[in-house]
A and B are shown apart, each in its own frame.
Chain A
């Protein structure tokens, strides 16, 4: 089989004929190279291709005639001469040339073909000329038999059909095409059939792969049928670790793959993590807005947080590492989920340790789509429209307007909050009426009438109409793929348009993705992935106004005019009037007018180029190079006009005018606006070189794969921000400011205490570098015994690095035993496969990752950052204090696994048990408060995570037209903090901490409630059964452990039904066993609606059920309202109620995440349309099936630790999609 190409091209200068040369195929086998120089050239080629693209060059017009005069020269010499004279390269099997005889020639200007015929006259070789290349091959012996074929005679063929293990199979159909005879196997698998030689036997049976066997003449045959794997794709399952691709059979580690069909169908979100929810055992997607990382560009509304196998780190990010095409990425949003082909989740040390410290939270590797090798181009268009609607304000109950007004009257306390003390304060319109009445400015009848008219108003419709809009998202992807067995590609263009619920905001993302693969011969494979994303966003000055604002405050009057509401930002009318008169600047505030006073816009670009090159060097040794480059420049502009309230407010803090008659002196511009441009730039590169050795012997009895590699990467991020003041957008002019004076503050300003924080320029830069060495080994013996091992060491440039502490190798070892393949193990016949796995490994986190160090890291304070620092000039301060006892966080992971497949592939599953022991847990140490240097990173304790995971796929029913299959994912994680430095020393500490030794992480503690006393003050029961309302009396042991806020049980339950061309999938997710605080009223003292600057004021309706008079304590647990804050504060602690056990409820719930209906066009229709495939789908999302709480709380839209409801951005999303291949 060893074939070599003979090539003598001396260089690849220019692009002359080069690709053409490489595109040549040798009949029978792809060429392989005999010459090491070719590899050098191939390397150059890669570089060339990277720079020039896959352009096809044109051949230079050289002569096609040859002149040669030589005696007894080798053929090699002859071909060298041909190359010199004609530029034609020769490909050949080296053995062919070695066996050739020397030739003698004497010709002048002979045409090439003629010359070759002459030169090869006595050789056992024939030639072919194509595309400037001469291809040599062995001369085929000419067969000269002239016998006529015999006419076939029918005969009886007998046979037996059995499965791979020799079990005979009954009821198998055997049909002979040609003779059109048929037979069915009996119980012993036997059949007999009349056939002709040359007939083709079709052997079919339910649950088995169809086989075709050509009748040769044998009278007795034995046929093996393979079970059809009805759930899993028939293609082998391959786990991609980013470093290697490992067949499922050869992987001992805990890997998992999501059901990509469900993943692709989840058009409700563009976030990769959200789409994985409930599809991967051990991957907990934390749903809801509380667990969203800040929105990023490219049309993704925010990445959902996820943890793999429980939290094993505290201060570091618990997010898994994302790897795309072998290179770690920080921003998944630049990839369109529609371009993803394959996802592997790496869970245990054996699977993930190769990624070094970054893998401590698990790894998610993603491969984007690549081209097919059909010669035909395939186009595909996919699109969806996803409708989300408006925020679901009703989710958070608040008082109705009449209730609010009545509460306002009940809580009005002018004797405690005197009118004169509120000169700076926030006085809402209803409060104004009440104060006016109490001050005798209006009669009580007038007040009552005014309040009644307020009661009649409800602003929720205006909140909905003015401050929100229907949100939706559209996504269009047009892709094309094609190729040959030398070159293939997949390219896609996509557009994602997002209309958020914020009026005026735009978000348009465009992506181009091109994956190319070049396989010039069976030794070289080069892949090039290019992804480009571009997004433009813009937004207007929209305040966040929800139903918690004063319920009677409209924004537009009956005539549609926008309403002024200067009170919202504080200051009494008289104070505001005085400021306005002196500064001659209005302090009016009109939220609708404000919309256009400020705007933001952003441009994000991201380019990701990854090259993978694989070169077979020699005898199973090959080289793999992975080279990734990522560049993401972005620009953000913001403009705030001088008309904006905040600008006017700042200006008055820098305006000197002692009296209304004095001419104001403005220290800030009164025209134009503040314009800020921020440019950020990220770039990263990865270079990875791997040497791979593959060895197999005795027909794959021994399979060995060894890898040795080195990796270097760099991450660079910079940001520059420039701000101009008094900027005129039309003229592009700006004002010159006296920053020195401004930084010191202006004495005697109209509004005192103003601080000007404008920084004209700001710059940051960060550069991190890593080098790593790694080794991998996989050995399989007899297809039954698998051994995996990995080792890696990383060095980094992070500040404060100590060389000795960097040499911390991370390693893993694992084994797998395919039990069902053992001869001595008697498996029942319905068992197809049983394999057991065990792995152990050590992973870790470098302390420097958390930004800590064994040295004090100092941070500069520029003269501008704090005006007062100008007194001693620029300075340094302690940014991060040293932790001299810092060491690595280490996680030892043990994983035991079982894979099984039974009932002929109808049930497949895998089961994992793991134990993760983390020591030297890196965490935020609140240092001893006596040395109050903020929180530092240190080794704070020990944590153990134990868990089981089960994934089960079953085919429940399968008939000709109908099928029903189920996928069940189950994860259980139990963790416990074994040791923790930051133990709480007070009850209050426990109530707010999420970490407490001997408890799971994310603990929730509560007071033991003991009802109200006769003043309506909440009481608690202490550990010694004392009932008390005394403040701060509870000690650590006086609070109860209620549970953890992270679900210990979670997973998914998916059912897929198909009927003819229709498909229906129902994906359910469940999170069980965790707890949360209920949202309860927290307003028990002080003034109702007293905070200016925010659109707040309304409170929870449970306030109405509070204790009001003696005796109420028998039927309510809700504390009384005490107007005087000092009285309330000194007499009681209302958190005894709000943080009590009665307000902790189960957070368990089950939701149908999505229901998707798919219709694939019938073949007849497709033929009419002349397209290969087309489908439509419709999806609806987010249906609560069951929840344990009785308070209407959707745990996804709440903050479990403090019991706050978050407004869901939508109730259900509805999306419609189409997918056409043409």
Chain B
């Protein structure tokens, strides 16, 4: 009898594997393959949310103005950013825009901490470690360019930056701001450590390949005012990207927008079928990161994105009439009615790429060459891009400019506007140029066009740095805000 009872009890309890249930639908990372899938997370390369990625920089840049009739319906954060107001977020508002970046940082730190202890091929693990470091560098480069002062070697060590988080731990508290220098040091050391181990090819370019990281390090050095240090990495990026079976290449707008070209037909609402309308077109991307910047036609009558933004007359004047990039602009409002004053808006970019694009690599290279006095090299680089954006006859850099270093640098900076207007790039250039004597006299203005009269806002120097959202400051009282 007792035997029966005991066996009855043991039947269920003593089976060793009774509790060893492997649940479906979730897992704990143990193998290199698991970490690989973590770095495949689409948040690393696509942000579909209305308040994502470069959304604020989009409004902050001085190459854009606002259409008053539409601007009132724009998201309030974009409005405040456009007005260069100190307070963009209310205390209760989580800046989703930054939050998404910081959550990716956790994944990067996790992979960096754990992947080498995971099961799997050593080479693969080293590649993943490198990718996570490069990913972390990208995130920090972005953050420091929002909340830290523009890099200035003399003051960077004391300029407050952003908390330096290198561990995946959500229980941490009482964060303080590391210096701008410390953040740049991390960005540079992460990229330098990553580059030797990153694969040349074998993954889609939404993952970080060697050429992408090299190009990024070049950009970082240029932003630190070290064009000479940047050049070898930019050159390496050109070299290493060629190892891909289908390397990044520039679309030739002269071809693609001509009859039979791949950018046709032209939609009345979204313009030509160019990469700006296709999130999955990675042709021009070295490191593809995309965010949705169109309005959508949602039920919520609030515009995000670029719909209420038009080019300033000054920015529009930078284009020659034959510049094919103008075809990405519309003189109509989103509802199809013509814009008073003929102001144009970039309607053909609903997916903005903010990772590292090949056009930017050419322009970075050109700028570094110009700044290191390789004017011919710079001219060649910038013309290589321009040749694919307009008829070759108009693509040449005027001789007077090509022969003068300062003028050529200015020309290249203007080319950056022509290429990336209304995509958020300009804000980061405005910041770094503020420490450049060549551009020190610039005064930045924003105009809101309205029937009743235009409103003009002038950027004050301290607003080149965003204030930290109070949402972060409240929980981290040790962090001091920017003025």
Which residues does A use to contact B, with CB under 8 Å? 36, 39-40, 43, 415-418, 420-426, 569-572, 575, 578, 617, 623, 625, 658, 687, 689, 691, 710, 712, 744-745, 747-748, 751-753, 764-769, 771, 773, 795-797, 799-801, 853, 855-861, 866, 868-879, 881-885, 925, 927-933, 936, 938, 985-986, 988-989, 992, 1031-1032, 1090-1093, 1124-1126, 1129
Selected interface stretch from B32-40, B117-125, B219-227, B380-388: B32-40
Instruction: Name the residue on A nearest B107 (C-beta).
Output: A878
Closest 9 pairs (CB-CB, A-B): A423-B335, A753-B296, A985-B474, A875-B40, A869-B42, A712-B12, A797-B21, A868-B46, A876-B37
Expressed in whole angstroms, the minimum distance between the Cβ of B200 and any Cβ of chain A is: 17
On whether the beta carbons of B40 and A874 are closer than 8 Å, the reply is: yes
Closest to A751 in B: B297
Residue in B1, B105, B207, B336 with the greatest tally of chain A CB atoms within 10 Å: B1
Distance in Å: Cβ of B34 to nearest Cβ of chain A = 7
What string of 1s and 0s marks CB contacts (under 8 Å) between B274-313 and chain A? 0001111010000010100011111101000000000000
Whether B301 and A871, one on each chain, are in contact in the complex, defined by CB atoms closer than 8 angstroms, is no
A769–B19 touching, CB < 8 Å: yes
Name the A residues within 8 Å of B334 (CB-CB).
Answer: 423-424
Say yes or no: B107 contacts A658, CB within 8 Å.
no
- Chain A residues contacting B45 (CB-CB under 8 Å) are 868, 871-872
Interface range for B: 35 or more
A40 to B38, CA, bound (A): 56
In Å, the complex CA distance between A861 and B27 comes to 12
Taking the closest CB of chain B, its distance from the CB of A1026, in whole angstroms, is: 18
A1031 contact set on B, CB distance < 8 A: 90
**CB distance A858 to B5 under 8 Å?**
no
Chain A to chain B contacts (Cβ below 8 Å), 13 pairs = A39-B4, A752-B296, A765-B25, A801-B19, A875-B37, A875-B38, A878-B38, A925-B170, A928-B175, A930-B102, A932-B99, A989-B91, A989-B92
The verdict on B232 contacting chain A, using a C-beta distance below 8 Å, is no
Would you give the 0/1 interface string for B447-473, flagging 1 where the beta carbon is closer than 8 Å to chain A? 000001000000000000000001110
The CA-CA distance from A423 to B333 in the complex, in Å, is: 10
CA distance A767 to B20 in the complex (A): 11
> Which residues in B have their C-beta under 8 angstroms from that of A571?
297
Whether A767 lies near B19 (C-beta < 8 A) is: no
Q: Chain B contacts of A421 at CB under 8 A? A: 69-70, 72-73
- Report the bound CA distance from A795 to B165 in whole Å: 36
B239-247, B263-271, B321-329, B390-398 - the one binding chain A: B263-271
B153 contacts the other chain (CB 8 A): no
Rounded to whole angstroms, the CA-CA distance of A882 and B337 in the bound complex is 53
In the assembled complex, how far is the CB of residue A410 from the closest CB belonging to chain B, in whole angstroms? Answer: 20
B374 interface contact, C-beta 8 A: no
Q: Are A986 and B13 within 8 A (Cβ)?
A: no
Q: Mark B78-91, 1 if CB is under 8 A from A, else 0.
A: 01000000010011
CB atoms of A769 and B92 under 8 A apart: no
Among B38, B92, B110, B170, which residue has the most Cβ atoms of chain A within 10 A? B170
How close is B409's CB to chain A, nearest CB, in angstroms? 35
Cα(A1084)–Cα(B337), bound, Å: 31
Q: Which of A877, A881, A927, A988 contacts B43 (CB 8 A)?
A: A877
Specify the main secondary structure of chain B where it touches its partner.
loop
B residues near A932, Cβ cutoff 8 Å: 94, 99, 102-103
Inter-subunit contact A871/B472 (CB<8 Å): no
Q: Are B37 and A871 in contact (CB under 8 A)?
A: no
Selected from B169, B288, B335, the residue in CB contact (under 8 A) with A575 is B335
Instruction: Check A799–B26 contact: CB distance below 8 A.
Output: yes
B234 to chain A, nearest CB (A): 25
Q: B residues within 8 A CB of A860?
A: 25-26, 37
The verdict on A861 contacting B170 (CB below 8 Å), with A712-B12, A1032-B90 known, is no
**B204 in the interface (beta carbon within 8 A):** yes
Is the beta-carbon distance between A871 and B24 smaller than 8 angstroms? no
In contact, B299 and A856 (Cβ under 8 angstroms):
no
Whether the pair A766, B92 counts as a contact (CB closer than 8 A) is no
Residues of B within 8 A of A658 (CB): 265, 267-268
Bound-state Cα–Cα, A878 to B34, Å: 11
* Chain B 38-77 per-residue mask, 1 if CB under 8 angstroms from chain A, else 0: 1011111110100000000000000000000110110010
A988 touches B19 (CB 8 A): no
Q: Is the CB of A931 within 8 A of B204?
A: no
| Chain B residue at minimum C-beta to C-beta distance from A851 | B26
Per the 8 Å Cβ criterion, residues 325-356 of B in contact with A are 333-337, 350
The answer to whether A927 and B472 touch across the interface, beta carbons within 8 angstroms, is no
B168 touches A747 (CB 8 A): no
Q: Does B442 contact A (CB under 8 A)?
A: no
Whole-angstrom distance between the alpha carbons of A872 and B470 in the complex? 35
- B440 interface residue (CB < 8 Å to A): no
- Choose among B41, B294, B472 the residue that contacts A930 (Cβ–Cβ < 8 A): B472
Q: How far is the CA of A420 from the CA of B69 in the complex (A)?
A: 8
A753 close to B298 (CB less than 8 A): yes
From the candidates B26, B70, B99, B476, name the one contacting A859 in the complex (CB within 8 A).
B26
Q: How far is the CA of A764 from the CA of B23 in the complex (A)?
A: 10
Chain A residues positioned under 8 Å from B23 (CB to CB): 766-767, 799
Expressed in whole angstroms, the minimum distance between the Cβ of B336 and any Cβ of chain A is: 8
B residues contacting A by CB (< 8 A) are: 1, 4-5, 8-9, 12-13, 18-21, 23-29, 34, 37-38, 40-46, 48, 69-70, 72-73, 76, 79, 87, 90-92, 94, 99, 102-103, 105-107, 110, 163, 165, 168-173, 175, 203-204, 206-207, 265, 267-270, 273, 277-280, 282, 288, 290, 294-299, 301, 333-337, 350, 452, 470-472, 474-477
A873 to B8, CA, bound (A): 49
Structural contact, B5 and A868, CB atoms closer than 8 A: no
Contact A989 B474 (CB under 8 A): yes
Q: How far is the CA of A988 from the CA of B90 in the complex (A)?
A: 10
How many angstroms between the C-alpha atoms of A241 and B335 in the bound complex? 69
Contact A43:B170 (CB < 8 A) given known A712-B18, A871-B45, A1090-B301:
no
Set B9, B105, B110, B267: member contacting A710, Cβ < 8 A: B9
Contacts of B470 in A (CB 8 A): 986, 1032
Report the Cα distance A417→B301, complex, angstroms: 11
Determine the distance from Cα of A767 to Cα of B299 in the docked complex, in whole angstroms: 40
CB pair A881 B106 closer than 8 Å: yes
Q: Using known A-B contacts A570-B299, A858-B38, A985-B475, determine if residue A885 contacts B171 with beta carbons closer than 8 Å.
A: yes
Q: Are A884 and B171 in contact (CB under 8 A)?
A: yes
Q: Which residues of B contact A753 (CB under 8 A)?
A: 294-298, 350
Instruction: List the A side residues contacting B40 at CB < 8 Å.
Output: 869, 872-876
Q: B91, A988: Cβ atoms under 8 Å?
A: yes
Cα A686 to Cα B483 with chains together (Å): 63
Q: How far is the CB of A1042 from chain B (nearest CB, A)?
A: 19
Decide yes or no: A929 and B172 within 8 Å by CB, A797-B21, A868-B42 being known contacts: no
Contact A857:B28 (CB < 8 A) given known A689-B9, A933-B106, A989-B91: yes
* Besides A869-B46, A877-B38, 17 other A-B contacts (C-beta < 8 A): A422-B301, A423-B337, A748-B267, A858-B26, A868-B46, A870-B280, A872-B44, A876-B40, A877-B41, A878-B110, A884-B169, A928-B172, A929-B471, A929-B472, A1092-B299, A1124-B72, A1126-B72
Given the complex of chains A and B, what is the CA–CA distance between A765 and B26 in angstroms?
10
Residue contact B170 to A927, C-beta cutoff 8 Å: yes
- A764, B38: Cα distance in complex, Å: 20
CA distance A771 to B9 in the complex (A): 11
Kindly report which residue of chain A lies nearest to residue B70, judged by CB atoms.
Answer: A421
Tell me the nearest residue of chain A to B299, going by C-beta.
Answer: A1093
Tell me, rounded to whole Å, the shortest Cβ–Cβ distance linking B227 to chain A: 33
A856 touches B29 (CB 8 A): yes
What are the residues of chain B within 8 A of A872 when measuring CB–CB? 40, 42, 44-45, 203-204, 206-207
- Cα–Cα distance between A799 and B20 once the two chains are bound (Å): 9
Q: List A contacts of B69 (CB < 8 A).
A: 418, 420-421
CB distance from B365 to the nearest CB of A (A): 27
Task: Give the docked Cα–Cα distance between A616 and B279 (Å).
Answer: 74
**Given the complex, which residues of B lie within 8 Å of A878, measured CB to CB?**
38, 103, 106-107, 110
Bound CA–CA A859/B476 (angstroms): 29
Docked Cα-Cα span, A40 to B472, in Å, equals: 68
